[in-house]
């Protein structure tokens, strides 16, 4: 029985076949390669940015440090907050003094009072009442606590604190300014309490829902509900237009502070082994030893 000897590959035989490329450090850094170790392009053309012109980072390596986020946003936030405070002071001064803005406000209020269908305007004005706005906010708080669990407790408490601050800010101003209503001799109509309640309740609910539904789906709805409440109050003759505007400026500043607090509120992470409350799949851990 004849044995057929196996063919053994030699260095010369390896050259006859197709070369097998091995992707390692030696190949990645050869001349003309597209890896990070070669300054040349694969087609022989020079790079778009010469190495000597590239900017270096803080540690001296090539690269440009990314822009630092937060600085422009902080300035814009402070500017809008200051603008709301200045406009509120101006409107409050005009509501107390017998100035031209108050005269125009009263003429506009008398012209708009009683317009529109009464059931609709009454429904719109009721949107700012405690029996309507507070249950909506309570439902949203319960939903966020159900979705986020303990991570949402701090944000929910911040919204409750903002809602509790509404009567603490509005009631002393009503007693101090003591403005008469459009269709009554009673006083204490500036600023509008219904508008303030609607803006903080619906605005706070929208801020809580931003992580789950996004800004485009929540903030415009809160703004529309606040605008509808103020419109109903003016058309029913319950408030002057300046009463509504003053509440919008006051509570706008309050919501700006609330939004800042909600963004900086710590959200607790879920412990390993527990189900993610936001509906996300848990991250796979290391394989257990067999």
Q: How do residues 216-244 score in pLDDT, each as one tens digit?
A: 989 999 999 999 999 999 999 999 999 99
Low-confidence ranges of the chain (pLDDT < 50): 1-2, 7-16, 23-38, 57, 60, 70-74, 268-290
Q: How far apart are CA 201 and CA 166, in angstroms?
A: 10
Strands (E) across the chain are located at none
**Residue 58: inside a domain:** no
**Does residue 97 form part of some domain?**
yes
Report CA-CA distances (Å) from 41 to 13, 55, 122. Answer: 33, 20, 72
Largest Cα–Cα distance in the chain? 126
Closest CA to 194 of 241, 236, 247, 240: 247
Specify the number of domains making up the chain.
Answer: 1
- So what's the pLDDT on residue 36? 47
Q: What's the domain range around 253?
A: 79-110+121-264
In a domain, 167, yes or no: yes
**Domain-located, residue 168:** yes
Residue 180 resides in a domain: yes
For residues 8 and 15, give the distance between their C-alpha atoms in angstroms, rounded to a whole number: 14
54 domain-assigned: no
pLDDT at 151: 86
């Amino acid at each position: 029985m004849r044995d057929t000897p196996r063919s053994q590959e030699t260095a010369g035989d390896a050259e006859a076949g197709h070369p097998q490329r091995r992707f390692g450090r030696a190949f990645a850094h050869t001349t003309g390669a597209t890896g990070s170790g070669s300054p040349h392009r694969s087609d022989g053309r020079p790079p778009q940015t010469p190495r000597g012109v590239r900017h270096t980072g803080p540690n001296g390596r090539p690269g440009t440090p990314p822009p630092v986020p937060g600085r422009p946003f902080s300035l814009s936030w402070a500017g809008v907050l200051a603008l709301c405070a200045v406009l509120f002071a101006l409107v409050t001064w005009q509501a107390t003094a017998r100035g031209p803005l108050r005269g125009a406000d009263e003429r506009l209020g008398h012209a708009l009072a009683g317009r529109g269908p009464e059931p609709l305007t009454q429904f719109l004005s009721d949107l700012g009442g405690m029996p309507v706005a507070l249950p909506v906010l309570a439902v949203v708080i319960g939903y966020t606590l159900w979705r986020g669990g303990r991570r949402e407790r701090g944000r929910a408490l911040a919204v409750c604190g903002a809602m509790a601050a509404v009567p603490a800010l509005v009631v002393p101003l009503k007693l101090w300014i003591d403005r008469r209503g459009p269709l009554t001799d009673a006083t204490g109509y500036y600023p509008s309490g219904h508008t303030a309640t609607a803006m903080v309740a619906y605005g706070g609910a929208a801020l809580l829902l931003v992580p789950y539904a996004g800004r485009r789906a929540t903030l415009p709805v809160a703004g529309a509900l606040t605008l509808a409440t103020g419109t109903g109050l003016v058309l029913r003759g319950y408030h002057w237009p300046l009463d509504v505007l003053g509440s919008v400026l006051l509570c706008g500043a309050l919501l700006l502070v609330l939004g800042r607090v909600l963004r900086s509120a710590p959200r607790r992470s879920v412990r390993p082994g527990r189900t993610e409350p936001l509906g996300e799949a848990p991250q796979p851990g290391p394989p257990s030893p067999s």
